[in-house]
Amino acid sequence: MPEPAASALLEMRGISKSFPGVRALDGVSFEIRAGEVHALVGENGAGKSTLMKILAGAQPADAGEIVMDGTAVQIGGPRDAERYGIAMIYQEFNLVPQLDVAANVVLGREPVRAGGWLDGGAARAVAAAAVKQLGLELPLTIPVGRLAVAQQQMVEIAKALVRKARVLVMDEPTAALTDREIDHLFETIRTLRERGVGIVYISHRLEELPRIADRITVLRDGRVVGGGTVAELPQHEMIRLMVGREMDQYYPPLPPLDPAAPVVLAVRDLRSGSVVRGVSFDVHAGEILGMAGLVGAGRTEIVRAIAAADIPSGGEVSIDGKPLHAHGPHDAIAAGIALVTEDRKGQGLVLGMSIRENVTLPHLELFSQRFGFVDRASEGKATRDLVQELRIRTPSIEQRARNLSGGTQQKVVLAKWLTERARLFLFDEPTRGIDVGAKAEIYELMTELAKQGAAVVMVSSELPEVLGMSHRIVVVRDGTIAGVLTRAEATRERVMSLATTAHGAA
């Protein structure tokens, strides 16, 4: 690994930023050197995204300065940032889905012929060169909307390269990727690093940092609380800095399974869309069932079909022995099913609404009086209790969901389904984008729900989490169940082999 050059390419000094009721950043200093990967970590709401938005000109700072190559610069908007070679890849990509890969890569700097005509050939050449430099293979003439998430991300990186980015910021780039795709991404990042690009890498997956990062800076409550090289900061030390206390026990002990516990959820030959092709399994009261498999294996579709978010095309779902004939989520909710979706912005939250309004939405009837009037006082009380229970960081329950940090939004989605304790909880990637402290809290919450007699299904792409948190593990492959493992049988290798090979049934 080449030693990073000691001089800073870019420096942020004493950056402060407040939102109404929130001090998001408080005198933060942060530097990026050429040819290094600098990881930025911290709890949800610590201020990571805000710091990077200031760098990208998406938000103005209240105080502080940004120094590039030794001179102070003003970044008043995204155009300035681009001029200084700062590129940012947000979790929601900035791509035009209808345009093809080449057109997206050159977007905004399309090569033109005399007279202003677009030069498609030159565009493809430019894009092809960028893709090649990154050591990638991308189909240049396919609309970006049809690519997989990981490929779209590569398009973003190619775009940054064409813009001659010297600093590249990636906000949680691995959150939606498979292990394979992550390996690929890391290789691309290394290529960029060798070319002298300074990379800021934000992630909640601390275990991946030793593989990719050179240096680490830890933020807590809008301040820098520590930093150093990867070697200087082992994971437990990083966590201690992030949460401000020692965190020894990561996965809580699972409550023992009562062998006589009744079956809460019975799924028989469930079929849905073209993806779910005959799935059967049971979940007992007090049990946490992990659902593992590759991205695209059909796990999300299975839980959606159970919760009638998609109407199954065949098979049967019963709750407490009673067959469920749901015509939509409404019926499933009435039967005691809670689906905590993976995509919080698209399906989980009404971003323009307050935390209170979001939290009470699925069970508003519990907060209604005569004539359908909503009782705001009782709404407020229930919401405040949940905000406390889940340690949701917000100045007020009236804060709009749009203004919350990514992980905080995820907690609000969880809170929505806790106003009324359901019989069956279906968690789809419940800890995606959530910090270590909050993860532990969510695990705690799941075991608590199980202890109270609910059945819990947890879909997760993070194997350690599935292994650590499940009584049993169902492995899904190609829309069918490839095998069921008990906690004792389950190992990383067995789960992976079931998930990937065509004949590994247990």
**Contacts (CB under 8 A) with another protein, residues 205-224:** 221-222
Burial state string for 88-118 with b = 16 or more CB within 10 A and e = fewer than 16? bbbbebebeeeebbbbbbbbeeeeeeeeeee
Tell me the closest approach of the beta carbon of residue 169 to ligand ATP, in angstroms.
Answer: 12
Choices 254-262, 306-314, 384-392, 405-413; region in contact with ligand ATP by CB under 6 A: 405-413
Q: Which of 178, 368, 403, 497 binds ligand ATP (CB under 6 A)?
A: 403
Q: What is the DSSP letter of 148?
A: -
Q: How far apart are CA 66 and CA 31, in angstroms?
A: 10
Residue 273 lies near another protein (rule: CB under 8 A): no
**Contacts (CB under 5 A) with Mg ion, residues 38-67:** 49
Q: Which of 21, 77, 135, 145 binds another protein (CB under 8 A)?
A: 21
Tell me the closest approach of the beta carbon of residue 45 to Mg ion, in angstroms.
Answer: 8
Partner from ligand ATP, Mg ion, another protein, none contacting 384, C-beta within 5 to 8 A by type:
another protein
Q: How far is CA 310 from the centre of its chain?
A: 23
Choices 173-181, 250-258, 397-405, 466-474; region in contact with ligand ATP by CB under 6 A: 397-405
Neighbours of 23 (CB within 10 A): 15
**Contacts (CB under 6 A) with ligand ATP, residues 50-69:** 50
Pick the closer one to another protein by CB: 6 or 377. Answer: 377
Q: Which of 116, 137, 249, 371 binds another protein (CB under 8 A)?
A: 371
Q: How far apart are CA 15 and CA 52, in angstroms?
A: 11
Q: Among positive and negative, which fits the CA dihedral 475, 477, 481, 482?
A: negative
Pick the closer one to another protein by CB: 339 or 474. Answer: 339
Reading phi first (left if > 0) and then psi (alpha if -120 to 50, else beta), residue 159 is in alpha
Pick the closer one to Mg ion by CB: 205 or 271. Answer: 205
Tell me the closest approach of the beta carbon of residue 427 to another protein, in angstroms.
Answer: 14
**Contacts (CB under 8 A) with another protein, residues 43-72:** 45
Partner from another protein, ligand ATP, Mg ion, none contacting 470, C-beta within 5 to 8 A by type:
none
Dihedral, 89, 94, 100, 103 alpha carbons, nearest 10: -80
Choices 89-97, 113-121, 254-262, 383-391; region in contact with another protein by CB under 8 A: 383-391
What contacts 129, CB < 8 A, 6 or more positions away?
Answer: none
Pick the closer one to another protein by CB: 327 or 503. Answer: 327
Q: Are 49 and 34 in contact (CB under 8 A)?
A: no
What single letter denotes the amino acid at residue 291?
Answer: M
Nearest to 506 by CA among 497, 338, 429: 497
Q: Which of 48, 215, 304, 472 binds ligand ATP (CB under 6 A)?
A: 48
Strand partners, 199: 37, 168
Tell me the closest approach of the beta carbon of residue 48 to Mg ion, in angstroms.
Answer: 5
Residue 91 lies near ligand ATP (rule: CB under 6 A): no
Using CB positions, name the residue nearest to Mg ion.
49
Residue 423 lies near another protein (rule: CB under 8 A): no
Choices 16-24, 127-135, 227-235, 467-475; region in contact with another protein by CB under 8 A: 16-24
**Contacts (CB under 8 A) with another protein, residues 335-354:** 339, 341, 346-353
Q: How far apart are CA 147 and CA 153, in angstroms?
A: 10
Choices 132-140, 157-165, 327-335, 438-446; region in contact with another protein by CB under 8 A: 327-335
Partner from Mg ion, ligand ATP, another protein, none contacting 50, C-beta within 5 to 8 A by type:
ligand ATP
Q: How far is CA 338 from the centre of its chain?
A: 20
Residue 286 lies near Mg ion (rule: CB under 5 A): no
Q: Which of 133, 191, 368, 480 binds another protein (CB under 8 A)?
A: 368
Q: How far apart are CA 86 and CA 78, in angstroms?
A: 9
Residue 174 lies near ligand ATP (rule: CB under 6 A): no
Is residue 150 within a helix (H) or strand (E), and if so which, with residue range?
helix 149-162
Q: How far apart are CA 303 and CA 442, in angstroms?
A: 19
Q: How far apart are CA 448 and CA 373, in angstroms?
A: 33
Q: Helix/strand/coil (H, E, C) string of 312-356?
A: CCEEEEEECCEECCCCCHHHHHHCCEEEECCCHHHHHCCCCCEHH
Residue 406 lies near Mg ion (rule: CB under 5 A): yes
Residue 49 lies near ligand ATP (rule: CB under 6 A): yes
Give the full edge-to-edge strand order of the sheet including 322-323. 276-284, 263-272, 314-319, 322-323
Residue 431 lies near ligand ATP (rule: CB under 6 A): no
Pick the closer one to another protein by CB: 19 or 211. Answer: 19
Tell me the three state secondary structure of residue 259: coil
Pick the closer one to ligand ATP by CB: 153 or 272. Answer: 153
The residue count of the chain comes to: 506
Q: How far apart are CA 99 and CA 110, in angstroms?
A: 13
Dihedral, 307, 468, 392, 238 alpha carbons, nearest 10: -150
Residue 430 lies near ligand ATP (rule: CB under 6 A): no
Residue 152 lies near ligand ATP (rule: CB under 6 A): no
Q: Helix/strand/coil (H, E, C) string of 443-474?
A: HHHHHHHHHCCCEEEEECCCHHHHHHHCCEEE
Q: Which residues bind Mg ion (CB under 5 A)?
A: 49, 406
Q: Which residues bind ligand ATP (CB under 6 A)?
A: 19, 22, 24, 42, 44-50, 393, 403-408, 435
Q: Which residues bind another protein (CB under 8 A)?
A: 20-23, 45, 221-222, 307, 309, 328-330, 332-334, 339, 341, 346-353, 357, 361-362, 364-365, 368, 371-374, 384, 387-388, 393-399, 416
